[in-house]
Structure 1
Amino acid sequence: MHPLQFIIPLDALAAVAPILAYITLGLALLNLLTRIVQHRFHLKQAKASDDDEGLNRWLPHTATTVGLVLVSFLYMIPHPHGGMVMSVLALGVLFADFFEYESRLVEARSKSKQLSRPIAAVGASAFMLLYAAYQSVFFVIEPVWNSIV
């Protein structure tokens, strides 16, 4: 008897395990796109308000970030090594997103300069996207990879 069988239905997870990497890739791509849109919303909100009270998180972006973390945790059950790396990268995206939002609030309060781009969060998202693409579309580069390694 597996200890996780009462928390997570392992049979249902085994049925979707082959597509978890593709789901992670889709969420990573969607997260990167929603990050761009969220930054545009922040620029509009900062121009419209006098303080940081006008800035708020965009729900679709927050949902993709949380979904990315949860799916990467699920990916860790059938694929421990790749799932651990993916989970660490997803948590890095979550933390970078949190601190980037806080820095946007500080920039909006100062009003001395324009809101800067979320460079750290975009970088973390790009690494997450690259690793998710590596895990899900490895069959494309597998012949070349095996000939080298």
Structure 2
Amino acid sequence: MQAFVNLFGPLDALLAPEVFGGVRVIEYVLLALVVANFVTRKLAHDNHVLQYREGGAEAVSRYLPHEAMNVLLVLGSFYYTTVEQHGGIVLSTLVMGLFLTDFFEFESRKVEARREIDMERPKASLVAAILVLMYAGFQSLFWLVQGYWSAVV
């Protein structure tokens, strides 16, 4: 296994130490960011529907807290790549897929508003977010099932 390299100084001192079962703090931070992303996703969709009802298609705009959460998630997954190479690359790929899906889902909501049809839930980005949640949960909560996993594998 490759030795840990201290690239970011104080940030590494806060996020890279191992806590429960060899899991790093950054893995719990990423899991919390993914869960918070679900909350901001719901708030963003409710905001888009409200904007559409009150002002029509031209009033629908991006929800800044959700966009900021997406950027934090991308940056966090890129940082995780410096700490855990394999897991970080997989998570970064999933998060970038989520980021792109969110971008196009917003454009879909704009099209629905222009066509004056009911706004649907962002189904594709929900699926992508569930994949990210599953992998972040796997990385951070694996210590819960490690004994059973070792017995099988």
TM above 0.5, one fold? yes
User: How far is 1:14 from its partner?
Assistant: 3.2
Partner of 2:20: none
Deviant stretches of 4+, over 3 Å: none
Contact 1:96–1:124 (CA<8 Å) still a contact in 2? yes
1:48 to 48, 54, 74: 54
User: 1:114 is matched with which residue?
Assistant: 118
TM-score, with length taken from structure 2: 0.87
CA distance in 2, matches of 1:75, 1:92: 16
Tell me what 1:57 maps to: 62
Aligned sequence identity (%): 39
Equivalence for 2:135:
131
Partner of 1:68: 73
1:14 maps onto 2:2 in alignment: no
Q: Distance in 1 between matches of 2:112 and 2:141?
A: 39
Instruction: Provide the C-alpha distance between the structure 1 equivalents of 2:54 and 2:119, rounded to a whole number of angstroms.
Output: 13
Instruction: Letter of the 2:12 partner, please give it.
Output: A
Consecutive unaligned residues in structure 1, runs of 5 or more: none
Selected match of 1:86 from 82, 86, 91? 91
Question: AA paired with 1:64?
Answer: M
Query: Equivalent residue for 2:19?
Result: none
Report the counterpart of residue 38 of structure 1 in structure 2: 44
AA matched with 2:126: V
CA distance in 2, matches of 1:125, 1:53: 27
In 2, Cα distance between equivalents of 1:54 and 1:104: 12
CA distance in 2, matches of 1:69, 1:14: 17
SS in 1 for 2:83: coil
Deviation at 1:43, TM superposition (A): 0.9
* Distance in 2 (alpha carbons) for counterparts of 1:37 and 1:148: 41
State whether residues 32 and 126 of structure 1, in contact with CA within 8 Å, keep that contact through their aligned partners in structure 2. Answer: no
Paired position in structure 1 for 2:145: 141
Measured on the aligned residues, the alpha-carbon RMSD in Å equals: 1.4
1:79 and 1:104 map into 2 onto residues whose CA distance is: 36
CA contact (8 A) 1:46 1:108 kept: yes
1:98 matched to 2:120? The reply is no
Deviations 1:39-95 (A, max 9, x none): 111111111123x22011111111111100000000001100000000001101100
